Amino acid sequence: MIIVWSGLVALVMILYVVLDGISLGVGVLFFSAESEAQRDTMIESISPVWDANQTWLVFGGGAIFAAFPVVYGVLSSALYIPLITFISGLIFRGVAFEFRANAARKGPWNRALFLGSLVAVFSQGLTLGGILSGVRVIDGHFAGGPLDWLNPFSVMVGAALVPGYGMLGSCYLILKTTGPVQARAYRQAFWSGMAVLAFMAIVTVWTPFHYPVVMTHWFGTPRIYFVWIFPLMGSIAAYMLFKALKARGERLPLLCGVGLFLSGYFGLLTSLYPLAIPPSVSVYDAAAQPETLSFMLVGSAAVLPLVIAYSLYSHWVFRGKVKMEGY
């Protein structure tokens, strides 16, 4: 049961990262639009779906709270500052959609969308970096200081996530737009893809030094037999991404971009498992009682397939290139 929930939470988190990564990425790229019409196009590409994408975070938070209460409690105390900053970014990003549509002067809400997305992405990276740097836990409660999460490594992860989501966003814009917005998205996808590769290389080398247990995880059995798959998968995805960008493919770049993210994410999970909070709390220490886990599993098994079905339906309704439709 605990393993099932580890898998489910991991799935929900990656769904959030990829889906909202796309929306946040478009937000981060917002600065580069050259006219109000181009901004309209970019916004229109995500406005019917951004809220549904973000809901994976809300559910993810609830699922972690219910399935791994210790993770929820400890991490939110330990990462208080980056988490609140992250949420503040999401607030400005979220209201900017509606407010911009109603504003006579769009400038402030253009900036709110861009800066809100940027702050959200960077602090999300800080949060991840902070977790990877290790959290002091005594008796199942956080026992460190307010700025424990702040170090060069977490800042680097924050910086890495910006081109990461920029890559997802630009690949999505390639799929959804035409003309100058699409042409720029091709260039942005190329450069952000390059940056992502560079950062992934740095992270792969730095993580084991920053955090030695990863090294023993990598080179111990049974992980040594399959841990190399993820860099390989990432390399293939990157190679195909650049090829697809050169060939001006419209769908393939997004798929490859997502593939690149997945390779990094799975690599990360394999490095950590069974740790839920490094260096000392495992998923077994952090899990809720079995009755709670099974109550949640029944609901998830019944409801989540429906959720995925109607989310796909909604994406299908809004398939194809962006058309300007107000409401």
> Could you tell me if 27 and 50 are in contact, meaning their C-beta atoms sit under 8 angstroms apart?
no
- Determine which residue in the list 97, 114, 122, 266 makes contact with other proteins, applying CB under 8 A: 97
- Determine which residue in the list 190, 242, 265, 318 makes contact with other proteins, applying CB under 8 A: 318
Q: CA-to-CA distance for 256 and 52, rounded, in angstroms?
A: 23
| By CB under 8 A, residue 161 contacts other proteins | no
- Determine which residue in the list 215, 280, 303, 321 makes contact with other proteins, applying CB under 8 A: 303
| By CB under 8 A, residue 143 contacts other proteins | yes
Q: What is the largest CA-CA distance in the chain?
A: 62
**Sole window of 21-29, 97-105, 149-157, 254-262 interacting with other proteins (rule: CB under 8 A):** 97-105
**Shortest CB 218 distance to other proteins, Å:** 31
Nearer to other proteins, 102 or 221 (CB): 102
3-state secondary structure of 282: strand
- Determine which residue in the list 1, 95, 213, 268 makes contact with other proteins, applying CB under 8 A: 95
| Count of chain residues binding other proteins (CB under 8 A) | 64
Nearer to other proteins, 62 or 279 (CB): 62
**Shortest CB 77 distance to other proteins, Å:** 4
| By CB under 8 A, residue 310 contacts other proteins | yes
CA dihedral 211, 213, 217, 218 (to 10 degrees): 40
Reading the block at residue 55, the tokens are 């809901």
Amino acid at 120: A
> Could you tell me if 231 and 263 are in contact, meaning their C-beta atoms sit under 8 angstroms apart?
yes
Nearer to other proteins, 91 or 229 (CB): 91
Q: CA-to-CA distance for 126 and 162, rounded, in angstroms?
A: 11
> Could you tell me if 238 and 199 are in contact, meaning their C-beta atoms sit under 8 angstroms apart?
no
Q: Which residues have CB under 8 Å from 189's CB, separation 6+?
A: 167, 170, 171, 174, 241, 245, 253, 257
| By CB under 8 A, residue 300 contacts other proteins | yes
- Is the backbone peptide bond immediately before 290 cis, with ω within 30 degrees of 0? no
Amino acid at 290: P
> Could you tell me if 74 and 130 are in contact, meaning their C-beta atoms sit under 8 angstroms apart?
no
| By CB under 8 A, residue 119 contacts other proteins | no
Interface mask (CB under 8 A) for other proteins, residues 30-69, using x and -? -----------------xxx-xx-xx-xxx-xxx-xxx-x
Considering only residues 229 to 288 of the shown chain, the ones binding other proteins according to CB under 8 A are: 288
Q: CA-to-CA distance for 240 and 228, rounded, in angstroms?
A: 19
| By CB under 8 A, residue 105 contacts other proteins | no
Residue with tokens 């959290």: 135
Site residues, other proteins (CB under 8 A) = 47-49, 51-52, 54-55, 57-59, 61-63, 65-67, 69-70, 72-77, 80-81, 83-84, 87-88, 90-92, 94-95, 97-99, 102-103, 140-143, 145-146, 288-289, 291-292, 295-296, 299-300, 303-304, 307, 310-311, 314, 317-318, 325, 327
